[in-house]
Amino acid sequence: MPTPDLNLLVTLDVLLTEGNVARAARRLGLSPSAMSRALARLRAATGDPLLVRAGRGLVPTPRALELQHSVAPLVEDAKAVLSPAEAPDLKHLSRTFTFRTRDGFVENFGLDLLARVAVEAPGVRLHFREKPDKESAPLRDGGVDLETGVLGPSAGPEIRLQALFRDRFVGVVRADHPLSRGGISPARFAAGRHIAVSRRGRDRGPVDAALETLGLTRDVATVVGGFSTAIALARDSDLIAVVPERYTGRLRAGLYSFDLPVAVPGFTVSLFWHPRLDADPVHRWLRGRVRDVCAGPAVP
């Protein structure tokens, strides 16, 4: 069965409303002959004359009157489908978003984000998931709606992103640690016992590379998978942790933080999403709230 020309629905709606070929043609921007041809196609498609002569005008057939009640709503529905989405009614919205982040993001930014969402859209729920790698497959497959992190080579070329903030690494120790008093030279820093943070279990990183240029090596006492774990260990020991400053602001409360005595490159934390959600008004709203929260002043 051939696929019907759905454009004829608009033509039929206007013809039945106007009851006149010439007026319908003007309304649709067509010539009278083009409108006559469209009427002929409609008659062939429906198997009914639809409009017939009555004196100098046209009158609808019973079939046309029957169709008139259903065609107009169909056309309006089609217009709605092909129009930009209206602003969402956030107060009555019920929707769940899955957010994949590295540890530290929820602890540092989660409370502010949840508070803003609760005020503007109380029916929206945020599910936070740990981010074990930088693969973009969860975004592509729809298992994740939003993700934060540092852009890596494994990110799919279609993935959308927006920078949230620049960050840098700082050292952190308990409040009464020996490093909390006096200057911190590269040698004094390297002489302490350290916590390495690596999702892959590596005990070397940019800090070690920077120390090596000075002929120094740090003593890595333990390797952990996340920043929050590193900070928890440093809080109750003599161990030294190196963590992102902005990313771990709340987690470092009550601890002594210091500038690293070696040069370690900074980085940009970005927000990632799949292009199929780019124009979704609710998703766009949530992205805006994440940006607002991350643009706020850093927690000391």
Residue 6 has pLDDT above 80, yes or no: no
The answer for residues whose C-beta is within 8 angstroms of residue 49's C-beta and 6 or more apart is 43, 61
Name the 3-class secondary structure at 87.
coil
Domains of the chain, CATH where assigned:
7-81 (1.10.10.10), 90-167+268-295 (3.40.190.10), 169-265 (3.40.190.10)
Main-chain phi, psi angles of 197, to 5 degrees: -110, 120
Q: Check whether 97 has a pLDDT greater than 90.
A: yes
- What is the pTM for the complete model shown? 0.71
Question: Could you report the per-residue pLDDT of 286-298, keeping only the tens digit for each?
Answer: 999 999 999 876 5
- pLDDT computed for residue 197 by the predictor: 94
Secondary structure of residue 260 in the 3-state scheme: coil
For residue range 124-169, what is the model confidence (pLDDT) as tens digits?
999 999 887 777 788 888 899 999 988 876 666 788 899 999 999 9
Q: Is residue 172 within 8 Å of residue 250, measured between CB atoms?
A: no
**Residue with token string 């740090």:** 218
Q: What's residue 83's pLDDT?
A: 62
pLDDT digits (tens, 9 = 90+) for 103-123: 889 999 999 999 999 999 999
